Structure 1
């Protein structure tokens, strides 16, 4: 139901007001109905007693059988809107509202009968009764005289209308009271909920020490205790995870730093070995070449680990300078002898203020990844869009599985377990993303409709505040 309010506070208010107003209205209408019925019954009883008394006072003085004069005298005693009949005789005046049903009931029951009708918008009480002759010994004998009279109930209707208006007024007066009570009830119910909401927001924002004080012993108090226990558990787990992450980062930084010196020595030895490899036997030369390749791979891994450690420590600051992005990208490809393997499309010039070395790292990692895992042609396109430098690297390979796309920039992530011995360290794309973000930019990846993967780098041309 679209009209029903969505907020908990609004629903509580509406429900409480509806219940209160309907309850007050039902009680008022019930009271008014009971009072109206009692008022009509009382008026009917009073009128019938009055009519009976009037007939009783005149009946002993009548002659039996009565003549026309006796009927008129009885009619005059009862009052206006009265008809008196006896066999074929009838009084000169009489109500025209007497119904055949009333006459039949009087004659068959031989006692006083009443009937309420509405004529021309006015309520009437019709009373019909036979006149009974009472002998000295107490026996009663029907005289054959019948009296029919009509009494106006307009005054009773006015009183009933007043009661109805009172009932409506009572229900209306209950509305503001219901709203006030609803506000108080909603406030008492929602106050603990708001406290829990604020606590949850503080937890979501990173304040693991946020807690709520339980109030009372109801369900909300139990919920508060549960939320506090959950927050305590999350805080303990987060603290343990932070310690583990800090230990892991410190370990990676320490290991990479400690390996740097022996690797420098090993690199020098490997260079000497490479120069003398041509004079070795075939088996020895193959072993030497393998040692050279693995040493270079280890050096690259240590360098990448040190770079990631600096990012984690927050000590990396970009050294921006004015440069031509088109020239910088071309120099990056030329330095790695990739110009013959890559299609390059750049504008004549594209000035920007960036860190040249880190831009070189971004382009080298993306192009190297496309050359290793994609298929030719590998294409690099440099452009400017909305004051941003856009560098798109595409290939025509098989693309990336949907399950791999969200993890492309994860550290040490390998889409294929069989590629664990590839020359890369598994950190290249992660380092490229960190360098892009260091400039206030971003890197996105997607599969092309025609096949292959597309990596798009977006960097602001100017340094942002």
Structure 2
């Protein structure tokens, strides 16, 4: 579920960011639009009023106008807090808020020119125009300038900003809430799909997803259900085939035991008298005896495997001395001289003695048949486990063989059609180890080293 939590976090963050940025962007655009409309409206009103007053009042000014006439025109043009300066063309007004840039612009055009200027934190609208009132639009030689405070407009702008900020907060919260709900709506079917996939992976093949709506996620859920149904059907068929195969192996093995018992009795008699037969008949008797014994071993191994497959294998536990049990296995098979064993006494554990004997016999027998001397058996223990290592000094196992050594009937050498064993020894040994709660592992060469561990205490 870690990936799902990460996806949930990313989706929530994405939806919240998109919603929040959209809300903030909308509020910002609203603010800037309202501000521009507000300032443009105030500015256009002031400039139009000033332009009209200049056209109206400048008609009564005699030309050439003296300084008193210019002062009177300036007083007539002043309204409220507006400051007006009337100078002759090229003259410099005494107000520093009328910039040189504006004066150059005014001197080069006939229309009213303006700009916004801020002094001591107060915004001003500053404009200027040459007076054109002679016939034919000739200049009069007089230039008028206005300086008007935009403080009220700035206050109105600040009010608009505060309103936009106040409106943005609930909008952002609503956007965040909408993002969370949207993320939840997207993630719920994804979480359902994740849980269903995990249940399917755990073997619960009857798992299905509810299909809601007709979007991509609904189609994905439908496809999942189709796949799960097909998988359930296929696995069901495979399980039935496997069950039939196991029953067949178990039945055949069971049916073979009676004739094999009779054949074994006959071959024992033949082997006993083989020395009294002529050489060819004696060799044939010994060959038949060996093959019947091999067939009997194969049938016994098949019966043992079928018990594991059917879940019928049980443990008959006893507390035994592990070193003594391994030594008894070696001694009973005449391997004492062929194996270098280190078996410290006093290491006790609960095991099924017969199954422990099977594990040791298969591992040591495999090392003696396919490895090279010396074959070593080492026993060691800690507080939790007992470990037995069986190693030889042969060529070892290739890396591509290691994953398959415990498979049934697996042969490392594909060209070897027959072997002395049944091909089930290592598989049976590992099944016995697993039945005890332990395991068997194998390490690459030089030589092959098989290590099996068993718990010292049963849970």
TM-score by length of 2: 0.92
| Structural mapping, 1:441-456, within 5 Å | 441-448=438-445, 451-456=446-451
Structure 1 portions without partners, runs of 5+: none
Corresponding position: 1:460 with 2:459: no
Shift in Å, 1:264: 0.7
| Aligned residue in 2 for 1:107 | 107
Contact 2:89 2:107 in 1 (8 A): no
Tell me, what secondary structure is at the counterpart of 2:312?
coil
Tell me, what secondary structure is at the counterpart of 2:415?
helix
Contact 2:134 2:140 in 1 (8 A): no
Contact 1:55 1:77 in 2 (8 A): no
Over aligned residue pairs, what C-alpha RMSD do you find? 2.3
| Distance in structure 1 (CA, Å) of the matches to 2:249 and 2:259 | 16
| Distance in structure 2 (CA, Å) of the matches to 1:430 and 1:297 | 17
Tell me, what secondary structure is at the counterpart of 2:106?
helix
| Distance in structure 2 (CA, Å) of the matches to 1:367 and 1:155 | 102
| Aligned residue in 2 for 1:193 | 190
Corresponding position: 1:42 with 2:41: yes
Shift in Å, 1:413: 1.2
| Structural mapping, 1:57-136, within 5 Å | 58-79=57-78, 81-86=83-88, 94-133=94-133
Distance change in 2, residues 1:21/1:433 (3 Å): same
Contact 2:131 2:144 in 1 (8 A): yes
| Distance in structure 2 (CA, Å) of the matches to 1:352 and 1:234 | 43
Distance change in 2, residues 1:357/1:89 (3 Å): closer
Contact 1:68 1:89 in 2 (8 A): no
| Distance in structure 2 (CA, Å) of the matches to 1:101 and 1:390 | 96
| Structural mapping, 1:84-233, within 5 Å | 84-86=86-88, 94-133=94-133, 142-233=139-230
Tell me, what secondary structure is at the counterpart of 2:144?
strand
Q: Mean Cα displacement is larger for which, 192-201 or 268-277?
A: 192-201
Tell me, what secondary structure is at the counterpart of 1:348?
coil
What do residues 262-297 of structure 1 show as CA deviations (whole Å, max 9, x unaligned)? 111111100110111111111111111110110100
Tell me, what secondary structure is at the counterpart of 2:21?
helix
| Distance in structure 2 (CA, Å) of the matches to 1:107 and 1:335 | 125
| Distance in structure 1 (CA, Å) of the matches to 2:456 and 2:329 | 19
| Distance in structure 1 (CA, Å) of the matches to 2:435 and 2:274 | 43
Corresponding position: 1:303 with 2:300: yes
Shift in Å, 1:385: 2.0
Contact 1:342 1:378 in 2 (8 A): yes
| Distance in structure 2 (CA, Å) of the matches to 1:56 and 1:370 | 119
Q: Across the two proteins, how many residue pairs are aligned to each other?
A: 453
Contact 1:81 1:94 in 2 (8 A): no
Shift in Å, 1:238: 0.7
| Distance in structure 1 (CA, Å) of the matches to 2:406 and 2:189 | 43
What do residues 329-376 of structure 1 show as CA deviations (whole Å, max 9, x unaligned)? 111111111001000111133222221111111111110000000000
TM-score by length of 1: 0.91
| Distance in structure 2 (CA, Å) of the matches to 1:43 and 1:66 | 32
| Distance in structure 2 (CA, Å) of the matches to 1:419 and 1:169 | 86
Tell me, what secondary structure is at the counterpart of 2:419?
coil
Tell me, what secondary structure is at the counterpart of 1:379?
strand
What do residues 359-408 of structure 1 show as CA deviations (whole Å, max 9, x unaligned)? 11111111000000000000011121233221110100111111111111
Tell me, what secondary structure is at the counterpart of 1:117?
strand
| Distance in structure 1 (CA, Å) of the matches to 2:258 and 2:442 | 37
Structure 2 portions without partners, runs of 5+: none
| Distance in structure 1 (CA, Å) of the matches to 2:396 and 2:219 | 52
Contact 1:445 1:455 in 2 (8 A): yes
Contact 1:122 1:153 in 2 (8 A): yes
| Distance in structure 2 (CA, Å) of the matches to 1:424 and 1:250 | 23
Contact 1:381 1:392 in 2 (8 A): yes
| Aligned residue in 1 for 2:403 | 406
| Distance in structure 1 (CA, Å) of the matches to 2:100 and 2:415 | 108
| Distance in structure 2 (CA, Å) of the matches to 1:417 and 1:101 | 98
Q: Mean Cα displacement is larger for which, 420-429 or 367-376?
A: 420-429
Distance change in 2, residues 1:71/1:380 (3 Å): same
Shift in Å, 1:56: 4.8
Contact 1:84 1:94 in 2 (8 A): no
Tell me, what secondary structure is at the counterpart of 2:349?
strand
| Distance in structure 2 (CA, Å) of the matches to 1:99 and 1:146 | 14
| Distance in structure 2 (CA, Å) of the matches to 1:337 and 1:88 | 129
